[in-house]
Amino acid sequence: MVQEPFFSVVIPLYNKERDIEHTIQSVLKQEFTSFELIIVNDGSTDSGLEVVNSIVDDRLFCYTIKNSGPSIARNFGVEKAKSEYIVFLDADDIWYPQHLKKLKQLINNKYEVSWYCTGYEYMLEGKSTYPMNVSLMLDSKNSYGVCDYFENSLSDSLVSTSSVCLKKEFFMMLGGFNPKYDTGQDTDLWIRAGLVSQLAYINRITVVVNLQGSNRITDMPILSKRHLQFDDHLNVEEDRLPFRKFMNFYRYNHYLKFKMAGFEENAQVYLVNLDAQMLNRKQRFLLKIPGRILRAIYDFKSKLYKYGIRLRASN
């Protein structure tokens, strides 16, 4: 009798010919080997699919669908998955060899949760320059446990798409990724997950998030994106302070993005339910300054990133 793999790894692929081989190899080199790798080719028009087909491994399965966006591609991959536990990986990110091993250790602890995560770091210009900005993950000790997602995601998110693991039945119960958003669809899913289950974590960095991969959604003009709505859970915010602080931070963040881009009218939408008293002094200051100055500050911060220096108003 053939034993089903412990993990199903789902990678959506759309025009990532430059990155996909490195990404796949990071999966195939995992120390924990009980997994299947599902590539969902989302109607790529470059040679990315040929790169995938050139890799021979019995654990790799590739499907092609009509171009529909990453949410539908990921949801399709989960439908094909044979495993109880689903892990995602973006087609330009990579895993360190112990990633699945660390997730398996978390699952073996039998916490009463339905999702799990490890730590991640950012890569800029081909070099890992800085870790996620979450105090829980920056502890020098090898710590792990269960926590509230919202309480620990007030700067960087505690979870990235490439660092998360969800039980398949939990993912299906949540309804998967929402295809009506083409940016923030991951945050939307984490919100729905965090409202019904705590999160198990281990503070080991096992994932590299590539900020300069090819064909990224962040390269699209801001007004052409279908953005996440932050006022769908106002009734829940009243009763859960960590969640209210989390939503407040994301309203603040989106307000600044639109203001920096010169779209003051669009930015005002995020002020309607934003509570400035929940922000720190630096954040309240940034709310008041003109968009052109915000843009200059952002450009300066971006230059510092290249040298591994990260400035955050959340600290």
136: CATH: 3.90.550.10
Look at residue 182 and tell me if it is in a domain: yes
Q: Are residues 194 and 256 part of one domain?
A: no
Q: Are residues 193 and 68 part of one domain?
A: yes
Q: Are residues 175 and 145 part of one domain?
A: yes
pTM: 0.93
Q: Are residues 117 and 86 part of one domain?
A: yes
Q: Are residues 236 and 214 part of one domain?
A: no
| Token pair listed for 238 | 């009243």
8 A C-beta contact, residue 20 and residue 48: yes
Count of the separate structural domains present in the chain: 2
Q: Are residues 259 and 125 part of one domain?
A: no
Low-confidence stretches of the chain (pLDDT < 50) are: none
pLDDT in tens, 106-123: 999 999 999 999 999 998
Measured distance CA(6)–CA(118) in Å, rounded: 17
Element holding 10 (H helix, E strand): strand 7-13
Q: Are residues 199 and 93 part of one domain?
A: yes
Please, is 242 exposed, middle or buried when counting C-beta atoms within 10 Å of its C-beta (0-12, 13-18, 19+)? middle
| Token pair listed for 71 | 């949410």
pLDDT in tens, 20-44: 999 999 999 999 999 999 999 999 9
DSSP 205-224: EEEEEETT-SS-GGGS-GGG
Q: Are residues 102 and 11 part of one domain?
A: yes
What percent helix, strand, coil does the chain show, rounded to 5? 40, 20, 40
Q: Are residues 98 and 199 part of one domain?
A: yes
Q: Are residues 45 and 161 part of one domain?
A: yes
Look at residue 159 and tell me if it is in a domain: yes
Which range of residues forms the domain containing residue 44? 7-218
Measured distance CA(47)–CA(51) in Å, rounded: 6
